[in-house]
Structure 1
Amino acid sequence: MSTTCRSLPEKQKPKGEGGTDRQQRDLETPKSRNVVSVISQLADDNLTLVRNISTGLAAVGVIVIARSIRVITKFRAAAEIPVRFIERNVRLRGKVHSITERGIEVEHVPIYLPVISPLLSKHRDVSTAPLVVHLAGVELTPEGKMWLQKNLVPPQTVWLQLISREDNTLHCLVSQSRGSVWSYCMNEELLRLGLARRAPIAGVPPGSPLHWRLHKRLHRAEVKAEKKGLGLWKRESLWERASKALRDNPLLRLMGRIFKRTRTE
């Protein structure tokens, strides 16, 4: 006698639980899909507008940042440079305008940002005014001025590291590019060639960290010229020293005058 095994019926969920959840999902899914579809359709229909708004917001942000740090502002006088630029020894780019008794006249060249720079300078005065720059911590000799006029020919580009400001004059470390990678500081170069001597660093408190850094750099350059006997440190030869000693000897000068009188008589 065979017995038939019947599979036990699955446990049925209570009425009102599974059926209700499935019905809610069926009702909510079309609604959610409809909202997403509407948003996507609006974005597709107004894609150009969305892009323009994003671009405009980005441009406004860049303009606000650029104006706040004044990287694209053209300075026409030392007084226009913010105090924080001087305190942080910011480097400015410029073109040599001329070299006069007042110092090096440099036309400031700000950072150029396409589209934004023309917009900010569109309604401004386009006239140019040079900044008056002194080589910080350096006193030029006449030969040094000639060297400077020969090596800083307008409109060469230079970099000005701001050190201090007095009235309408900037005291800077002036650098010039040498090739595509290297640059050299003209303050140090003039001292290294013996064409200048160290001078007090105007506007920098003695004993400050900045003063000691500059003093060390400039002193090192001057010592090199002194050791090599260059420029104003040039040493006279033995013959030159002997000739000078003979010319300055009182007895020899007296004998020379007596000899001239006897010849005239």
Structure 2
Amino acid sequence: MLNKATEFLDEHLRIVTKLGYIIAGIGVFSVARRSRLLTKFSSASEIPNHFVEKRIKLRGRVRDVRLDNIIVVEHLPSFGRLNSIVKFGRTEPGVGMPVSLAGVRLNTPGCVSLKNKLHSSIVWFELLSCQRPMVPNPPAVFYVRKMGFLRNLNVEVVKLGLGLAERIADCDGRGLRKLQRNLFRAQKYAAKKNRGIWMD
């Protein structure tokens, strides 16, 4: 009996191997689905608290930049192509969630410049730990890929003189003090170099 089973496995080794891959793939897919990696969020309130607490960066496409410091970004979930095939989560095209540029107050030229630069661009964003139900457009830190690295867009905007640094109220969490410090340091740099709004 054992010999027959061994012979069967030897003859059908390729099938058994593929079956193992399929089972492993189903397991990974199941974990991804439970952790909501396949979900497309259309509003900040839909993003789970553990995403915010663990400072998970979400990928998205910029749809608009508004003068009230709001960036409208369409969330692009992980495994996006798989998501569209299996029809899990929301897949409506062009839907964007409004979130604010944390610690930055844009001016009109800065808003126009940022809109031209970021329109339809891929960005990463990380919501700050705030009372989100109390904040309609919660603050977020944005990142753009530059020279192969993710750069803090909030700091870059202030450093170029496209906006002013301001304190982030009603938020806490790791890295907030460092972010505030970097924003005001970037503002001093922009003023010293006469950039943007600091031009003589």
- Alpha-carbon spacing, 1:42–1:197, altered in 2? closer, same or farther (3 Å): same
1:64 — aligned with what? 30
Q: Is the 8 A contact 2:162 2:197 kept in 1?
A: yes
Q: 2:96 aligns with which of 130, 152, 161?
A: 130
Q: For 1:20-44, what per-residue CA distance to the aligned partner results, in whole angstroms no more than 9, with x for missing partners?
A: xxxxxxxxxxxxxxx4312213434
Shift of 1:98: 1.8
TM norm structure 2 = 0.82
Matched, 1:219 2:184: yes
Matched, 1:159 2:124: yes
Shift of 1:55: 3.5
Distance 2:136 2:11 in 1: 58
Q: For 1:216-265, what per-residue CA distance to the aligned partner results, in whole angstroms no more than 9, with x for missing partners?
A: 21121111012223333344xxxxxxxxxxxxxxxxxxxxxxxxxxxxxx
Matched, 1:231 2:196: yes
What is the root-mean-square deviation in Å for CA atoms of aligned residues?
A: 2.6
Shift of 1:197: 1.3
Distance 1:88 1:202 in 2: 20
**Structure 1 gap segments, 5+ residues each:** 1-34, 236-265
Distance 2:76 2:118 in 1: 16
Q: Give the number of the structure with larger relative contact order, counting CA–CA contacts within 8 Å between residues 6 or more apart.
A: 2
Q: For 1:47-70, what per-residue CA distance to the aligned partner results, in whole angstroms no more than 9, with x for missing partners?
A: 576446424421221112112322
1:171 — aligned with what? 139
Matched, 1:104 2:34: no
**Number of aligned residue pairs:** 195
> The residue matched to 1:169 in structure 2 has which SS?
coil
**Structure 2 gap segments, 5+ residues each:** none
Identity %: 29
Matches within 5 A, 1:177-192: 177-179=145-147, 181-192=148-159
Could you list the structure 1 runs, at least 4 aligned residues long, displaced by more than 6 angstroms after superposition.
none
> The residue matched to 2:55 in structure 1 has which SS?
coil
Q: For 1:154-210, what per-residue CA distance to the aligned partner results, in whole angstroms no more than 9, with x for missing partners?
A: x2111112224534423212122234x1443221122112221111214423xx642
Moved more, 224-233 or 42-51: 42-51
- Alpha-carbon spacing, 1:193–1:45, altered in 2? closer, same or farther (3 Å): closer
